Structure 1
């Protein structure tokens, strides 16, 4: 991973925005990619990732647990009959992407991926190919600007807001500062969807392991990007107007868990929950 030129698999000439990459500033999606064993990261990302791992060795397994939660949540939603997904904060593609899971259950599912990292969008457009029956769209935009996403032509031609939509925001909201009012931001998305829609969120917390998560946050937050662990009560606010499905808000690896004999040894560093709009 020493090469600072990650593989960029463009199948066509990249859009101009896809070339505006500041390699000197770590980006959460690329740090996450490094923890998952990916190669699409730069020195600045690796420094933050390694420092955080040194301070809290459980962070790498936590990243894997978070990714596994995404897959289980999307599969659950598809099995409930949801055919539309708005995945915000997509991250660099790896195994078990939202469209693969959803369209594996129902091939006609429609997915919109949103991320603000040009590298993510380059990879998404090149690699995330959906089924012929469904539709997969990619929008380069920032979670903190809901209007730009909710009114984007590609979003509006892919998703029908008169029908239920699953809003998926996994491993992203902790990077929104308190003074940016993440609760108001999420409410703009949830207000835009009809009753019967779903919201799936995972979010870092120090509720379970305050020392380990505190050390992780301290190490990560030495750079220009940082994350904010939040309590269960704070994270529950994102689900105002929604009814949590069983088992409620729990550690990510305890949400509809697959058989895993080592689950009890995991570092519980994040909550996961899915709610249905009333």
Structure 2
């Protein structure tokens, strides 16, 4: 059985750098590239990205999350069995010893104003269904099957789910009407991240915020683990952010950074959390 991390029957795209637009087709791929999937470090701005991701048609059909979310585990178990088994054991020990705070819920309650909350890549709508009643849930999900399940899950909240790409979904939302946008583990999947952030900024009302969580390419773990790093997922992850590149891209469309402290981007963590704000008109 072919996994999503192996060859595709769909045609791949050829991307320029999503951060600065440079054409890097002639430069040598990074050693982290895998099979046909080519990672490049931009010759101009050093942004790391997947140069040849599958198009949206393939994302809907062949690479739908509900069909392929376990593919990285298959790859790791096959290619790095010791690392795979040790990682599973360590996760169980860590969960037993350390009770983590709910980082998303804490940020929503602290930074989101009452009103419409959009969850991009909402899956089955689990998180939207748990939002306090001060929020009106709106999901965006490219997978038709997950969007259907999310619609059923949110029916008692009168929530709405748009079965379309993130950019199509956000562009259909009236400007200045959204209180909060959740991009949890999503921006690394978006082939046009600057455009998505621009539509997010437009959709938010003044004073509204976006919560962003992405893998931290600058983490120590990536440098130590190399190809075995958990952030490498082919071909789903198409953007690899450092703290600098994430902040620069978010600010470039007009956001101000509300929360992005040392522990939000800690060098020992595989992930980063940011809260970006659309400034109020009187600020």
Q: TM-score, normalised by structure 1?
A: 0.60
Per the alignment, residue 169 of structure 1 pairs with 183
Q: Which moved more, 1:81-90 or 1:67-76?
A: 67-76
Deviation sequence 1:138-185 (CA, Å, 0-9, x none)? 100112xx3x32454xx55xxxx44552121110111124xx4x1233
Of 122, 147, 151, which residue of structure 2 is paired with 1:90? 122
Per the alignment, residue 216 of structure 1 pairs with 229
8 Å CA contact retained: 1:52, 1:217: no
Higher relative contact order at CA 8 Å, sep ≥6: structure 1 or structure 2? 1
Per the alignment, residue 269 of structure 1 pairs with 270
Per the alignment, residue 169 of structure 2 pairs with 149
Per the alignment, residue 36 of structure 1 pairs with none
Per the alignment, residue 77 of structure 1 pairs with 111
Of 126, 142, 162, which residue of structure 2 is paired with 1:116? 142
Deviation sequence 1:11-36 (CA, Å, 0-9, x none)? xxxxxxxxx974xx343x43xxxxxx
Deviation sequence 1:31-62 (CA, Å, 0-9, x none)? xxxxxxxxxxx4x443333325766637x96x
Per the alignment, residue 193 of structure 1 pairs with 204
The 1:189/1:170 distance shift into structure 2, 3 A limit, reads: same
CA distance in 1, matches of 2:142, 2:121: 7
Q: Does 1:140 find its partner at 2:170?
A: no
Per the alignment, residue 72 of structure 2 pairs with 48
Deviation at 1:269, TM superposition (A): 0.9
The alignment's C-alpha RMSD in Å is 3.6
Of 222, 233, 238, which residue of structure 1 is paired with 2:244? 233
Instruction: Describe the SS at the equivalent of 2:131.
Output: helix
Write 1 or 2 for the structure with the bigger share of helix.
1
The 1:242/1:50 distance shift into structure 2, 3 A limit, reads: same
The 1:199/1:229 distance shift into structure 2, 3 A limit, reads: same
Instruction: Describe the SS at the equivalent of 2:210.
Output: strand
CA distance in 1, matches of 2:217, 2:155: 37
> How many equivalent residue pairs?
204
8 Å CA contact retained: 1:93, 1:127: yes
Instruction: Describe the SS at the equivalent of 1:149.
Output: helix
8 Å CA contact retained: 1:170, 1:203: yes
8 Å CA contact retained: 1:213, 1:269: no
8 Å CA contact retained: 1:111, 1:137: yes
CA distance in 2, matches of 1:188, 1:128: 24
8 Å CA contact retained: 1:113, 1:139: yes
Per the alignment, residue 101 of structure 1 pairs with 131
Deviation sequence 1:91-150 (CA, Å, 0-9, x none)? 2344xx1342232xx2xx21210010122112101223444xxx411100112xx3x324
The 1:229/1:82 distance shift into structure 2, 3 A limit, reads: same
Deviation at 1:208, TM superposition (A): 2.0
Deviation at 1:267, TM superposition (A): 6.2
Instruction: Describe the SS at the equivalent of 2:207.
Output: coil
Deviation at 1:218, TM superposition (A): 8.1
Query: For the pair shown, which has the larger CA radius of gyration, 1 or 2?
Result: 2
